[in-house]
Amino acid sequence: MNEPRIVTAAVIVIGNEILSGRTKDSNLNYLATGLTEIGIRLMEGRFIPDIEDVIVATVNELRAKHDYVFTTGGIGPTHDDITSASIAKAFGLNWVLHPRAEKLLLDHYGRENLTEARLRMAHTPEGADLIDNPVSVAPGIKIGNVYVLAGVPRICQAMFDGLKAQLKGGDKVLSRTVSGYVGEGTIARDLGALQERYTMLDIGSYPFFRGGKFGASFVIRGTEQAKIDAAAIELHDIIRNLGAEPIEGEPAA
């Protein structure tokens, strides 16, 4: 058995409006799901304010630790959009006008509407690549292993979808979910023993309350399908022995 090839990522959600509660983030979940699909393991998420020093420190900590870092938020035209310049600072690079980004904005807005503020969106850390924005033109930025995406969910998600094919994942984490109307406290001992027999897998237990009954979904994750399936079969038996019926997947709502 080979060691799995593990490729990791971190997501940094940047914005005072998230930390004040004004805005609900939905980008972390979108990126988490998309990264899992392509074999990249999201190891941590950071939610931080629009403060330059914090952005610089967080980006530098995480780009050293992970294969990929994705940021969301703070790349618009207003004074509070400081992500791009902060990331230039994190890399020790100048923040400069990117000719192709300028051309994109010029074609979109026309010379008379390409305000100085909008031109901020054509600045990148020196030597950065652009990330396509099919929604509102102003591009995202790739510098080193850091991908700088918009905060508006529709734009963030479109940028990510567009660059997904360039990202190189490792061995995918496969998963199989088995559910049952059993109390977590009732099944816990057998479930823990199952986890101990399958140390190469990660078995999670997630309780639910549906139609007036308690139950739980058990998610078996790992890189080897055969092991996952073997554990799932044992789990079916465990659930049956407790007098419940195993359900493949999540129970119907």
Give me 145's structure tokens.
Answer: 């292993």
For a second copy, the closer of residues 28 and 143 by Cβ is: 28
Give every CB contact of residue 74 below 8 A, 6+ residues apart in sequence.
14, 15, 50, 55, 80, 81, 82, 83, 84, 86, 151
Per rule CB under 8 A, is residue 241 in the interface with a second copy? no
Query: How far is 14 from 72, CA to CA, in rounded Å?
Result: 6
Q: Judging by DSSP bridges, how do beta strands 68-72 and 8-14 pair with one another?
A: parallel
Site for a second copy contains 78 (CB under 8 A): yes
| Size of the chain in residues | 253
Q: Which of 5, 52, 65, 80 binds a second copy (CB under 8 A)?
A: 80
Cα 84-8-140 angle, rounded to 5 deg? 25
Q: Total number of residues binding a second copy (CB under 8 A)?
A: 66
Q: Is 111 in the site for a second copy (CB under 8 A)?
A: no
Tell me which of 6, 106, 219, 242 binds a second copy, using CB under 8 A: 219
Binding flag, residue 203, a second copy (CB under 8 A): yes
Position 97 contacts a second copy (CB under 8 A): no
Distance CA 177, CA 125 (A): 43
Q: Does residue number 173 form part of the binding site for a second copy (CB under 8 A)? A: yes
Least distance to a second copy, CB of residue 127, Å: 25
**With contact defined as beta carbons under 8 Å apart, do 170 and 5 qualify?**
yes
**Rule CB under 8 A: is residue 189 a binding residue for a second copy?**
yes
Residue 44 binds a second copy (CB under 8 A)? yes
Q: What amino acid is encoded at 161 in this protein?
A: D
* Contacts to a second copy by CB under 8 A: 11, 13, 16-26, 28-30, 32-36, 41-50, 54, 76-81, 109, 113, 115-118, 120-121, 152, 173, 175, 184-189, 191-192, 195, 202-207, 219, 221
